[in-house]
Amino acid sequence: MPNDSNRYSFAVFPFLKTSGAVTIGQMTVRSTDDATGLLPEQARQLQEISRMLFLKEHLRIRSASYTVVPLIDLDRRDEHADALEDLAHLQAVVAYCYASPHPIFIEPFLQYEHASLAIFSPGNVSIYVVRPDHHAEWVGPESPLTKDHRHEVDGYHGLYNFKHHFWVTNGSRLYPPIPHIGLNLSQDMAADLGQFLFESSHYPLLEKLLKRPKTATSERILRAIDWFNRANSVTASEEESIVNLAVALESLLLLPESDKKTERLVDSVSLVLGRIPRLDMWVRQFYEARSAIVHEGQAHNLRFVASPSASASDGPVYHSLLAYGRQVFQLCVGALLFGAGLAEEAGLQEKLVTNQERFDEINRELSDKTTKPTEKLRRIASTVQTAERYRFVPESDSSIEKFLNSVRLVSKVLLECDEKLEVDAKERLERIARAGRSDHYEILDAVRDFNEFVAPLARPTELDGPRIIAFRLILVVWGYTSPNYFWLRQSRTKTEPESGQSD
């Protein structure tokens, strides 16, 4: 189990080398020969892990690639699901890039196992999982282990390709997930991904998915890429790979359940890539093979029949259906990412959301009792910014109560988490928080007072602090509700003299 001194884990690509540091998404990958930025203990552990990486028999791998991440306690995987998902996405993108097809033979440059990822979390491990003694004998050089009173030794709890747990200690060996794997001579992550960055039309867009907050589109594309990578596994037969690739295409293109799924796939691929001659023929042949495998256990033909026309059933047998499929998938990913990029630049998604919906989301986040106050404010930051940007867009059925509820909630949340609030600001926030619901004028007057207090100061333009986020929301709500305030105040002014005359 991890101890307090090791609050980090190593994520290692054993079979991929790099000549320099390369940044992929939020993570920087370095060679195991490079201990730049590591603490002395981390550097020692990196060397220890490097000596465990073997290709086969007594052949140790000279260098691999790694990144350091905050501690992932593999005994509590549920608590570290987000961190594991980030690493899974990192591996998926790396494997995807190395599956780029040969320009002539359309075969992937490397297969999925070359991008295998091993996570090492330092800590104490049971000597019985490191050196099991039942029906096994130690045949290596003398290497005694000193166990503590709990029968544990210093070591690492590991996870291989997010599936297989392992436990190692100094002197252990970690072998490939398959009996034989070759190390490509020219492979170099720093050069290869850099080249892919300049030569590929969509790698920069794909890498952005790892840097930005998750969306339904990004999750769908990364999930489809995961299935694509399974289609490039050494352990998968060609039939299994075709099925996996079909799942990748269906999830990427969001094909609905239908009896005419082949035609749906033809239309979707043609819509994304254009009406390329014979592309529809490949799609039909590919999906026929997929259906035969799923329903009959085998397909009679796994290669593309280059018929002169769609109506002809004969012709020369050419590349494998799978080889074409890999390239078609990557081209579809590129097209979808490019389209998604254009939509994002135009702000299309946020333009389709009403401000009422934004304030519903803000109120929902601020009311979540399972979330810490500072986290609540962090979660609403971008939504507040968007609500401010679209505050002048007219909207029917607008509910002032949603706006006012948001300032009540945000005032309470900020009072909970910011103990350094100035007295004047604190008093005004408390006035907003305790304002009643029966009369909008009371809380609107409190919001007006807060606005006048904050307005002379530098208006908040950043979203990097709880106080700034909360202040900004209150100012945004004042922008929405100030006409209501002045209308109510004018109404009160008219009624007060009349009350005096009747007395």
Q: What is the distance, to the nearest Å, from the Cα of residue 323 to the centroid of all Cα atoms in its chain?
A: 28
Cβ burial 384-409 (10 Å sphere, 16+ → b, else e): bbbbbeeeeeeeeeeeeebbbbbbbb
The percent of residues in the chain predicted with pLDDT above 70, rounded, is 91
pLDDT at 502: 45
Among residues 118, 134, 129, 133, the alpha carbon closest in space to that of 169 is found at: 129
CB atoms within 10 A of CB 80: 21
Beta bridge partners of 70: 8
Query: Angle formed by the axes of helices 321-345 and 238-253, to 10°?
Result: 20
User: Residue with structure tokens 């297989």?
Assistant: 164
Among residues 452, 455, 384, 444, the alpha carbon closest in space to that of 413 is found at: 384
CB atoms within 10 A of CB 495: 10
User: Residue with structure tokens 């998938």?
Assistant: 329
DSSP 417: H
- How many H helices and E strands in the chain? 17, 11
Tokens for 69, please give them. Answer: 């991440």
CB atoms within 10 A of CB 105: 8
Tokens for 466, please give them. Answer: 């709880």
Please report, in tens digits, the pLDDT of each residue of the chain (503 residues total).
Answer: 666 667 899 999 999 999 999 999 889 999 999 999 999 999 999 999 999 999 999 999 999 999 999 999 999 888 899 999 999 999 999 999 999 887 776 788 999 999 999 999 999 999 999 999 899 988 888 888 888 989 999 999 999 999 999 999 999 999 999 999 999 999 999 988 876 655 666 677 788 888 877 888 889 999 999 999 999 999 999 999 999 999 999 999 988 777 688 889 999 999 999 999 999 999 999 999 999 999 999 998 999 998 766 655 677 888 899 999 999 999 999 899 888 888 888 988 889 999 999 999 999 999 999 999 999 999 999 999 999 999 888 888 778 999 999 999 999 999 999 888 889 889 999 999 998 887 789 999 999 999 888 765 545 554 558 888 999 999 999 999 999 999 988 888 876 655 444 44
Q: 401 near 415, Cβ under 8 Å? A: no
Q: 332 near 253, Cβ under 8 Å? A: yes
Q: 400 near 355, Cβ under 8 Å? A: no
Tokens for 36, please give them. Answer: 């730049």
pLDDT at 100: 83
Cα–Cα distance measured from residue 170 to residue 52, given in angstroms and rounded to the nearest whole number: 8
Q: What is the distance, to the nearest Å, from the Cα of residue 280 to the centroid of all Cα atoms in its chain?
A: 33
DSSP letter string, 17-69: --SS-EEETTEEEEETT--TT--HHHHHHHHHHHTTBEEETTEE-S--EEEEE
Query: How is the chain split into domains, by residue range?
Result: 8-133+146-196, 234-349, 353-502
Pairing of strands 152-160, 317-320: unpaired
Cα distances (angstroms) measured from residue 281 to each of 276, 293, 310, 327: 10, 18, 6, 15
Read off the pLDDT of residues 270-303 as tens digits, 9 standing for 90 and up: 999 999 999 999 999 999 999 999 999 999 899 9
Query: Angle formed by the axes of helices 81-98 and 189-199, to 10°?
Result: 70
292 CB contacts (<8 Å, ≥6 apart)? Answer: 298, 299, 300
Cα–Cα distance measured from residue 339 to residue 342, given in angstroms and rounded to the nearest whole number: 5
Read off the pLDDT of residues 109-125 as tens digits, 9 standing for 90 and up: 999 999 999 999 999 99
pLDDT at 380: 94
Pairing of strands 317-320, 59-60: unpaired
54 CB contacts (<8 Å, ≥6 apart)? Answer: 60, 61, 173, 174, 175
pLDDT at 436: 82
Tokens for 237, please give them. Answer: 């037969």
39 CB contacts (<8 Å, ≥6 apart)? Answer: none
pLDDT at 473: 93
DSSP 6: -
Q: What is the distance, to the nearest Å, from the Cα of residue 503 to the centroid of all Cα atoms in its chain?
A: 69
pLDDT at 496: 61
Specify the 3-state DSSP secondary structure of 277.
coil
pLDDT at 42: 96
58 CB contacts (<8 Å, ≥6 apart)? Answer: none
